[in-house]
Amino acid sequence: MDYTQLGRTGTSVSRIVLGTMNFGDRTSEEDSFAIMDRALELGVNFFDTANAYGGSGGRGVTEEIIGRWFAARPGARDNIVLATKVHSPMVDPTSDGDVVNARGASAWQIRREAVGSLKRLQTDRIDLYQFHHIDRHISWQEMWQAMEVLVARGEVIYTGSSNFAAWNIAQANEIASQRHFLGLVSEQSLYNLVQRSIELEVIPAAQNYGLGVIAWSPLAGGLLSGGSSDAKARSASDAVKGRRAELKDQIDAYDSFAKERGWTPAALGLAWLLHQPGVTGPIIGPRTVEQLESAVSALDISLSADDLAALDKIFPGPGGQAPEAYAW
């Protein structure tokens, strides 16, 4: 396993990030346990989840599965850098529960959901607590005050963002600096060969402020996976099939490129991300142990400058950093 620092922190994390969105939804608890066991054996020490994950199993179920895994594996917790998120509503709007404040990133919601996540995860701390989305209705003074309390209590170690624009990152960390607070240390963004918009501003901002970039949907929802006959896979959805038809020539060229070099398309897509400046690692969402092991094989792929140039021709990026990418 290869490791890197989590942004500008002194904490080392694996360059493959275990995403758990499938746990409790497309993946049973038994299989989820097997995946986490194997991940730990392979040296994957960075686990990512969210308070609302669970899909058909229900909100919070994914954290509960991880919590039961920790409870059944004494000592495993200290080997894991555990990341979760806050923002999504956790109460069914059709229920009789209080839903007025149960969403977003108010101080009330941050504290409430931190308590809930800690309970579900059966742990005393969240190593990386991430704002799942930007909340434009709450001031950074309020959000940082809530996080500062959690950090002071030892319940949160680091804070991160997800789906932030570059100016959100700048605003958040400038205000954190004014408060003598560490601020954001990571940004979790949509990033893959098909979708490279963050190269314009998010990656430069993240690098400037010392944030590690964590890439979600690294295989573009299955477009870069080489296809799948698995009915449960996201790559089998009608939307992905339609998108694959639109990009058929590019995907065929990409698949051929991988095949000629003896790589799977999925491993190549992950390897490309591992070669991008500022990227801590891609988040993989395996449903099986075999998919996990396949993803880890991306660490063995070394892409030459010619390889990277060839992939740029197949899936062109935005042209570099803004404003040069579009201004001249």
Coil vs helix vs strand at 82? strand
Structure tokens at 112: 């409430």
State how far the Cα of 188 lies from the Cα of 279, in Å rounded to an integer. 10
Distances from the Cα of 210 to the Cαs of 179, 185, 187, 195, in angstroms?
Answer: 17, 6, 10, 23
CA distance 173 to 279: 19
Q: What is the DSSP string of 203-254?
A: HHHHHHHTPEEEEESTTGGGTTTT----TTSGGGSHHHHHHHHHTHHHHHHH
Q: Contact 117/111 with Cβ under 8 angstroms?
A: no
Examine the residue annotation and report whether 53 is marked as an active-site residue of this protein: yes
Q: Single out the catalytic residue among 3, 53, 158, 326.
A: 53
Cα(158)–Cα(12) distance, integer angstroms: 13
Q: Quote the radius of gyration of the chain (alpha carbons, Å).
A: 20
Q: Catalytic positions, please?
A: 53
